[in-house]
């Protein structure tokens, strides 16, 4: 199959391109290197060293482990570039990761909120129009987010909800309560894609993905230069990554708020499998299909406890601290999200176990010298402020931390 992967230099996009190439698919890997430029802009960097886009592609192509990958560098907000490649490469499917994907980044300032929404919405519209204008048979596989749903007090279904109201029934898009300006951009994308399926007959799969963990796939493990990034700072990293580093260093594990915040999670290897299943089982023309792409639900406290258990076994003495939550979100809530569609297609999940956390401890320990402990301690982007410009300069993190402490936003111990 010929597949274009947008955002193919990113945390998931890169292993995805490798995975598809290893299966013998012909992959055109597209990225504008925005994720790397945002690191430069904010003074962040991944824990591990990663090869440049050019280098990782040429390493893959030199190894002979699957089909060679073609790569191109451009911004999908440039319609001519998108349309030109869709016309000349003539893919059967496109996998679209090419968006700004950090909720905290979108909450830094007005400029970041606007940049996130314009970038994501325009890039996605360009792909939709290119498919419509050039070949409406192309299957769009789009990465959405479980964070689009928020935390409603009813079960979360997969994209749609059948509603009976005043004696009449319809199946309508599931109502959304998105968590951030980033998640709002994904909601806008979903509505735009759904519209083009109704009006133009496009076929699309929206994968409302949970939080992805892990850094290892069979392909990234072949050579260190094929590694994907591991982020742990407060803008790009996940809570589990932060916990892992804190646990492995013997630092307090910092939970923001009460820790009852529950979300769906999945192993990066299952992301590979889910997207492959979606590609191998395309929807009908005119069908906008939505899958909830995660395998297990955890609260922050569940994750902190698991990390602490691993640390204890490794002879460390972990402590869990609850910091004031920089986000505005429910900290104790009902959460039951359905995720059977991908299982029905054949997904065999990897579950989060202490062995996986243990391997992450090994990974983190390998890069111990590169850890910047300032990035771990203080949540630097708050949902309330709307102008977290202090984030802009890495050097200002110390000031942010000081202000945070001076304002009496203390820490509370929680017994293990």
Residues that bind its own copies (CB under 8 A): 79, 110, 113-114, 117-118, 121-122, 125-126, 129, 132-133, 152-155, 157, 161, 163-166, 168-170, 172-178, 180-181, 184, 187-188, 191-192, 195, 198-200, 328, 334, 383-384, 386-387
User: From the CB of 409, what's the least distance to its own copies, in Å?
Assistant: 18
If phi over 0 gives left and psi between -120 and 50 gives alpha, with beta otherwise, what is residue 7?
A: left
DSSP code per residue over 206-235:
EEEE-EEE----TTTTS-GGGPPP---STT
Q: Spell out a b/e string for 192-205, using b for 16 or more CB atoms within 10 Å of the CB, else e.
A: ebbebbeeeebbbb
Q: Which residues contact 117 (CB under 8 A, 6 or more apart)?
A: 106, 181, 184, 185, 188
Q: Which residues contact 341 (CB under 8 A, 6 or more apart)?
A: 158, 289, 291, 292
User: From the CB of 336, what's the least distance to its own copies, in Å?
Assistant: 8
For the chain, the C-alpha Rg in angstroms (whole number) is 21
User: From the CB of 341, what's the least distance to its own copies, in Å?
Assistant: 17
User: From the CB of 98, what's the least distance to its own copies, in Å?
Assistant: 16
Q: Which helix (H) or strand (E) holds 77?
A: none
Q: Which of 15/104 has CB closer to its own copies?
A: 104
User: From the CB of 155, what's the least distance to its own copies, in Å?
Assistant: 5
Q: Which of 40/172 has CB closer to its own copies?
A: 172
Q: Which of 165/406 has CB closer to its own copies?
A: 165
Q: Which of 39/78 has CB closer to its own copies?
A: 78
Q: Which residues pair with 253 in a beta bridge?
A: 320
Q: In what order do the strands lie in the sheet with 262-267?
A: 211-213, 262-267, 296-299
Q: Which of 204/360 has CB closer to its own copies?
A: 204
User: From the CB of 391, what's the least distance to its own copies, in Å?
Assistant: 16
User: From the CB of 247, what's the least distance to its own copies, in Å?
Assistant: 30
Six token digits for residue 94: 């496109």
Q: Which of 15/123 has CB closer to its own copies?
A: 123
Q: Which of 155/402 has CB closer to its own copies?
A: 155
DSSP H stretches of helix in 298-353 = 300-313, 341-344
Q: What is the 3-state secondary structure (H, E, C) of 5-71?
A: EECCCCCCHHHHHHHHHHCCCEEEEEECCHHHHHHHHHCCCCCCCCCCHHHHHHHHHHHCCCCCEEE
Q: Which of 199/285 has CB closer to its own copies?
A: 199
User: From the CB of 123, what's the least distance to its own copies, in Å?
Assistant: 10
Q: Which of 177/285 has CB closer to its own copies?
A: 177
User: From the CB of 223, what's the least distance to its own copies, in Å?
Assistant: 40
**Interatomic CA distance for residues 72 and 85, integer angstroms:** 10
3-state secondary structure of 374: helix
């Amino acid at each position: 199959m010929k597949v274009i992967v947008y955002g193919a230099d990113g945390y998931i996009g890169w292993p995805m391109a490798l995975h598809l190439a290893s299966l013998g698919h012909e992959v055109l890997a597209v990225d504008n290197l925005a994720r790397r430029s945002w690191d430069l802009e904010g003074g962040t960097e991944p824990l591990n060293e990663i090869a440049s886009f050019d280098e990782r592609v040429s390493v893959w192509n030199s190894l002979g482990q699957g089909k060679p990958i073609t790569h191109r560098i451009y911004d999908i907000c440039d319609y001519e570039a998108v349309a030109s490649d869709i016309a000349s490469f003539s893919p059967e499917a496109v996998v679209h990761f090419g968006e700004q994907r950090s909720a905290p980044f979108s909450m830094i300032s007005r400029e970041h909120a606007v940049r996130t929404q314009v970038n994501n919405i325009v890039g996605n519209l360009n792909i939709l129009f290119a498919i419509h204008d050039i070949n409406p048979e192309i299957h769009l596989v789009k990465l959405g987010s479980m964070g689009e749903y928020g935390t409603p007090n009813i079960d979360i279904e997969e994209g749609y909800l059948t509603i009976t109201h005043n004696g009449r029934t319809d199946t309508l898009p599931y109502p959304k309560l998105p968590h951030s300006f980033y998640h709002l951009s994904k909601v806008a994308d979903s509505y735009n894609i759904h519209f083009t399926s109704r009006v133009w007959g496009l076929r699309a799969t929206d994968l409302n993905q949970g939080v992805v963990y892990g850094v290892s796939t069979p392909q990234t493990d072949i050579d260190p230069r094929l590694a994907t990034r591991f982020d742990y700072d407060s803008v790009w990293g996940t809570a589990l990554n932060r916990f892992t580093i804190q646990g492995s260093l013997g630092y307090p594990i910092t939970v923001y708020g009460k820790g009852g915040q529950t979300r769906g999670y999945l192993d990066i290897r299952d992301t590979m499998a889910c997207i492959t299943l979606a590609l191998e089982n395309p929807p009908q023309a005119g069908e906008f299909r939505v899958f909830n792409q995660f395998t297990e639900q955890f609260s922050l406290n569940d994750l902190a406890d698991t990390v602490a258990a691993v640390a204890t076994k490794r002879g460390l003495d972990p402590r869990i601290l609850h910091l004031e939550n920089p986000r505005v979100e429910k900290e104790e809530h009902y959460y039951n999200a359905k995720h059977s569609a991908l299982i029905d297609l054949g997904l065999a999940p990897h579950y989060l176990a202490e062995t996986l956390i243990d391997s992450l401890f090994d990974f983190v320990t390998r890069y111990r010298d590169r850890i910047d402990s300032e990035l771990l301690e203080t949540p630097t982007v708050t949902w309330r402020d709307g102008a977290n410009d202090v984030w802009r300069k890495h050097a200002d993190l110390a000031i942010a931390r000081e202000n945070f402490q001076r304002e009496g936003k203390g820490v509370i111990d929680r017994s293990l």
